[in-house]
């Protein structure tokens, strides 16, 4: 699946390697094997060894790996595992705060998805986005809320996080990156709520969502996909554009170059 079509990235703990295959079969666009938050401090070595063994035998789709952040004791060892294996498609870097953070990770030859989780990361966002090796941007909503001193799951918190989403979107566009990835949503037993969160993120210019449970995959993917009537409209616009120059009408609506571009984007999302 290409990056522009990737709508969901599902986390699975590295300490539970038996779950990786199940995650790969979940229908998620990509799987992120987590060496950071999902693994207790006293299990880091065993989790890394389990991931190393899994990758040595793995013949399936490439995976992403969320490593421990720069400045931790685990950072270099996590990078070494990722560097050794061609089945690692990219590295998710938590607490990214500078272009130099990205350079250290990109030196493995893997693409990087930086997670913005602090005020320092937000301040350095343009430099991070412009760093060589960055695939797309994402953020950790809970860690960022804690760092900024805002109360999670409140109207005020969402107002502030929307400003952070705005910054990720603009920095992504300015650096010609793929659309940013929405943070995890803690609810997994309410498909309508997951769908609504994904749809809201899509409407804000985001292209995918981090998932923490397989039950989130389908509603999140549908939330990022266009409605059937949108697809039909887009097909009409693109077909009409092939035989018209300049502005023209489709279903009573004036169509020009920006509208044609949007129609093509809708069709790409529908794939």
Residue 44 CA, chain-centre distance (Å), reads: 24
Residue 268 annotated in ligand binding: no
Query: Exposure of 222 by Cβ count < 10 A (0-12 exposed, 13-18 middle, 19+ buried)?
Result: middle
End-to-end CA distance of the chain, in Å? 10
User: CA-to-CA distance for 123 and 67, rounded, in angstroms?
Assistant: 22
Beta bridge partners of 11: 32
Residue 45 annotated in ligand binding: no
Residue 143 annotated in ligand binding: yes
User: CA-to-CA distance for 233 and 237, rounded, in angstroms?
Assistant: 6
Tokens standing for residue 227: 């409605």
Q: Which residues are annotated as a binding site?
A: 66, 117, 143
> Annotated binding site for Mg(2+), which residues?
117, 143
Residue list, annotated binding site for substrate: 66, 117
């Amino acid at each position: 699946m290409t990056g522009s079509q990737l709508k969901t990235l599902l986390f699975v703990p590295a300490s539970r390697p038996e779950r990786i295959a199940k995650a790969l079969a979940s229908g998620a666009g990509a799987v992120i094997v987590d060496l950071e938050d999902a693994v207790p401090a006293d299990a880091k070595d065993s989790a890394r060894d389990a991931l190393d063994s899994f990758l040595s035998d793995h013949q399936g789709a490439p995976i992403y790996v969320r490593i421990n952040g720069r400045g931790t004791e685990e950072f270099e060892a996590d990078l070494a595992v990722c560097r050794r294996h061609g089945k690692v498609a990219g590295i998710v870097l938590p607490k990214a705060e500078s272009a130099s953070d990205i350079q250290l990770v990109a030196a493995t030859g893997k693409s990087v998805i930086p997670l913005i989780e602090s005020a320092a990361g937000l301040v350095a966002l343009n430099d991070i986005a412009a760093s060589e090796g960055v695939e797309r941007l994402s953020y950790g909503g809970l860690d960022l809320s804690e760092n900024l001193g805002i109360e999670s799951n409140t109207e005020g918190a969402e107002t502030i996080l929307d400003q952070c989403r705005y910054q990720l979107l603009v920095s992504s566009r300015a650096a010609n990156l793929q659309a940013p990835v929405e943070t995890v949503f803690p609810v997994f037993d309410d498909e309508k709520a997951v769908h609504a969160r994904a749809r809201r993120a899509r409407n804000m210019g985001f292209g995918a969502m981090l998932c923490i449970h397989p039950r989130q995959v389908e509603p999140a993917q549908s939330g990022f996909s266009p409605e059937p009537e949108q697809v039909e409209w887009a097909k009409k616009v693109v077909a009409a554009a092939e035989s018209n120059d300049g502005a023209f009408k489709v279903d009573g609506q004036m169509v020009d170059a920006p509208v044609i571009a949007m129609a093509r984007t809708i069709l790409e999302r529908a794939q």
